[in-house]
Amino acid sequence: MPSDMQVAAPEAPCPDADRLIAVQDLSVSFGAASVLSHVDLSVCEGEIVTLIGPNGAGKSTLVKAVAGLLAPTSGTVWRRPGLRLGYVPQRLSIDRVVPLTVRRFLTSAGSGLGKAAKTALAEVDATHLIEQSVHDLSGGEFQRVTLARALLRKPHLLLLDEPLQGVDLGGQLALYDLIGRLRRRHRMGVLLVSHDLHVVMGSTDRVLCINNHVCCSGAPESVQQHPEYVALFGPEAARRLAIYAHAHDHAHDLAGNVIDTPKDHHQNGHGHGS
Amino acid sequence: MMEEFFVRALIAGLGVALVAGPLGCFVVWRRMAYFGATLAHSALLGVALGFLLGINLTLGIAVSSIAIALLIAGLQRQRMISADTLLGIMAHGGLAIGLVALAFMSGVRVDLMAYLFGDVLAVTWRDILWIYVGGAAVMLTLAVIWRPMLAITLNEDLARAEGVRVEPHQIAFMLILAIVIALAMKVVGVLLIVSLLIIPAAAARPFSRTPEHMALLSAGAGAVSVVAGLFASLYWNTPAGPSVVVAACLLFALAFGAGARLDRRAA
């Protein structure tokens, strides 16, 4: 029990007044299957927290619990009173049966958002896309637009569930850069699920490594030396926890490892958290 | 000059088409065609109910359709039987029970064909009043729930995270769908109602850039189908309801052909 406490004890990265959300002892089960157990997490103003972990580890579930989309089986999710959330769900895609321009996609988020839509698009450098059909956007463009939608309500906290999915490498760097800039400009907190086990956004303040429970957490550099991280992902992965690096190229190094080949990564991604 | 019965048919048909067009867009976007068909088929239960209680048939159909819609919504929470199987059971069960119940009612002479395929040439001014009052109520409700329903349709989690209360909106949508089915029954009958919801909307899709754009075009396509179908039925002496549906199908084929050409040129 004491060792558990040690793992679970969240760092106190900020005074209580700056805390946006605090998850305490959160457990979520779907039927008999436990997806998350005894998770603690907090995000502060202006802080970027990145969640990493294998597929099915419960990352999306944790984000959904923070967003209030699912009820905890036990434990609490505290949100600062009046907290506004901006959410980008995993694998958001718009069905082609619905005709939709970027402008209408943004204004469907609430009434009277016409002006806010333009401002939000400007924030993500995508003003030129406003009259385009969402069905014709590239992966990177679409992610910018969904980010703009999340920004519409001037959120205090951005919840980004694998925001880089379907974005090419150059676009990924640009998006990370953009998220970092937005964080600084608005002092937003960001809770981000990494699309890749070994990749952590450069300006991440804290990394939480999750596999049903919180395996370890801390600054990116410290996490990769954590014994639990090494045990979970293997020494090879631990060495390559990258502060934004191209980890996909070397995924075959992990053959036989419990975690992850790129193929598994994408196939298994569908099920978890839903 | 046009006979009065024909004028009544045109007014009734146009009223239904103008409401069914925008509502039908959501049926298409949310893939609820079979759900609509289920409500429509089981509307025959409502006819039987109407006769049994001696109430207005439109009211009987609306009540039974709403009950069926709520029943389906409740039953879909279980996981043993898939949604489409469930809908099939309700659709055919409702139709069959309605037919059997009507046969049991001695003393009631029912023109079954009129219920199955519509009898728009026999609508009364009273029916038209029902269609326009009910239609106005439906349009008003649809206007209120339009934006949140669109958000839910695009992504339910996202809408929920943005504070949309999903379930009440979905139930409201089902209710107005049930009402439109009750209103449309006199025009095209239970077996063809869904066509007025989905065919004009499908015809509108290739030319639409926004959801609202599609709703307008869909209402227009429905109106054109009603007018063309009714005149064709007058000219060739064909059944009115099916003629309207045939006109809608032709319009869809034309629209889709033209849409495909547009697409190719753009690509």
Write down all domains in chain B, each with its CATH number in brackets: 4-257 (1.10.3470.10)
% helix, strand, coil for chain A, step of 5:
40, 25, 35
Q: What's the sign of the alpha-carbon dihedral A220, A222, A228, A233?
A: positive
Q: Please indicate if any CB of chain B lies within 8 Å of the CB of A98.
A: yes
| pLDDT above 50: residue A260 | no
pLDDT at residue number A233: 65
Tokens standing for residue B182: 């009750």
**Residue B139 in contact with residue B20, Cβ under 8 Å?**
no
Burial of A80 (C-beta count, 10 Å sphere; 0-12/13-18/19+): middle
pLDDT at residue number A9: 42
Q: Residues A2-84+156-268: name the CATH superfamily.
A: P-loop containing nucleotide triphosphate hydrolases (3.40.50.300)
Q: How is residue A9 annotated by DSSP?
A: P
Cα three-residue angle B162-B167-B171, rounded to 5 degrees: 135
Tens of pLDDT, residue by residue, chain B (267 residues): 678 999 999 999 999 999 999 999 999 999 999 999 999 998 889 888 888 888 888 888 888 888 998 898 888 888 888 888 999 999 999 999 998 988 888 777 778 888 888 889 999 999 999 999 999 999 999 999 999 999 999 999 999 999 999 999 999 999 999 999 989 988 888 888 999 999 999 999 999 999 999 999 999 999 999 999 999 999 999 999 999 999 999 999 999 998 888 777 765
Which residues does B contribute to its contact with A (CB < 8 Å)?
A: 28-29, 31, 147, 150-151, 153-155, 157-158, 160-162, 205, 208-214
Return the SS3 of B215: helix
Return the SS3 of A162: coil
**Residue B197 in contact with residue B204, Cβ under 8 Å?**
no
CA distances to A25, A101, B29, B98 from A72, rounded to whole Å, are: 10, 36, 32, 45
Q: How far is A168 from chain B (nearest CA, A)?
A: 23
Q: In 10 A of CB B34, how many CB atoms?
A: 15
Q: What does the domain layout of chain A look like in residue ranges?
A: 2-84+156-268, 93-154
Left (φ > 0), alpha (ψ -120 to 50) or beta: where does A46 sit?
A: left
Split at pLDDT 50, 70, 90, the class of A56 is confident
pLDDT digits (tens, 9 = 90+) for A210-245: 888 888 888 877 776 777 776 766 666 555 556 553
* Residues in CB range of A38: below 8 A, 6 or more apart: A4, A8, A25, A26, A27, A75, A213
Residue range A180-185: mean pLDDT, rounded = 90
Q: What's the sign of the alpha-carbon dihedral B146, B150, B153, B155?
A: negative
Tokens standing for residue B27: 């049926």
pLDDT at residue number A91: 82
Q: How far is B119 from chain A (nearest CA, A)?
A: 33
**Residue-level length of chain A:** 274
From B75, B48, B43, select the one nearest B62 (Cα to Cα). B43
Cα three-residue angle B199-B203-B207, rounded to 5 degrees: 155
CB contact under 8 Å between A133 and B209, yes or no, is yes
From B196, B158, B170, select the one nearest B28 (Cα to Cα). B196
Helix (H) or strand (E) holding B106: none
| Predicted model pTM | 0.85
* Residues in CB range of A217: below 8 A, 6 or more apart: A10, A11, A206, A207, A208, A209, A223
Backbone angles phi, psi at A20, to 5 degrees: -90, -50
CB contact under 8 Å between A64 and B157, yes or no, is yes
pLDDT at residue number A20: 93
pLDDT at residue number B57: 83
Interface test with A, best of B155, B164, B167, B208 (most A CBs within 10 A): B155
From A223, A233, A230, A229, select the one nearest A259 (Cα to Cα). A233
pLDDT digits (tens, 9 = 90+) for A90-110: 888 899 999 999 999 999 998
Residue range A5-34: mean pLDDT, rounded = 77
Question: Which segments of A152-226 does DSSP mark as H helices, in order?
Answer: 169-186, 220-223
Instruction: Round to whole Å and give the CA distance between B242 and B233.
Output: 9
Name the residue in chain B with its Cα closest to that of A98.
B29
Left (φ > 0), alpha (ψ -120 to 50) or beta: where does B134 sit?
A: alpha
**Residue A76 in contact with residue A232, Cβ under 8 Å?**
no
CB contact under 8 Å between A98 and B151, yes or no, is no
**Residue A218 in contact with residue A52, Cβ under 8 Å?**
no
% helix, strand, coil for chain B, step of 5:
85, 0, 15
Instruction: Round to whole Å and give the CA distance between B206 and A194.
Output: 37
In the block, residue with structure tokens 């880089």? A164
pLDDT at residue number B86: 92
Tell me what percent of the residues of chain A surpass a pLDDT of 90.
44
**Residue A146 in contact with residue B158, Cβ under 8 Å?**
no
- A92 interaction partners in chain B (CB closer than 8 Å): 155, 158
Tokens standing for residue A258: 């419990």
Q: Please indicate if any CB of chain B lies within 8 Å of the CB of A94.
A: yes
CB contact under 8 Å between A109 and B162, yes or no, is yes
Q: From the list A68, A87, A104, which residue is nearest B158 (CB)?
A: A87
From B81, B267, B164, B66, select the one nearest A67 (Cα to Cα). B164
Name the residue in chain B with its Cα closest to that of A274.
B157
pLDDT at residue number A257: 41
CB contact under 8 Å between A101 and B205, yes or no, is no
Burial of B254 (C-beta count, 10 Å sphere; 0-12/13-18/19+): exposed
Q: In 10 A of CB B120, how many CB atoms?
A: 30
Instruction: Round to whole Å and give the CA distance between A237 and A250.
Output: 10
B208-220: b (≥16 Cβ within 10 Å) or e: bebbebbbebbbb
- Residue B265 exposure: Cα atoms within 13 Å on the Cβ side: 6
Q: How is residue A133 annotated by DSSP?
A: B
Burial of A24 (C-beta count, 10 Å sphere; 0-12/13-18/19+): middle
Residue range A30-45: mean pLDDT, rounded = 92
Amino acid code (one letter) for B231: F
CB contact under 8 Å between B211 and A85, yes or no, is no
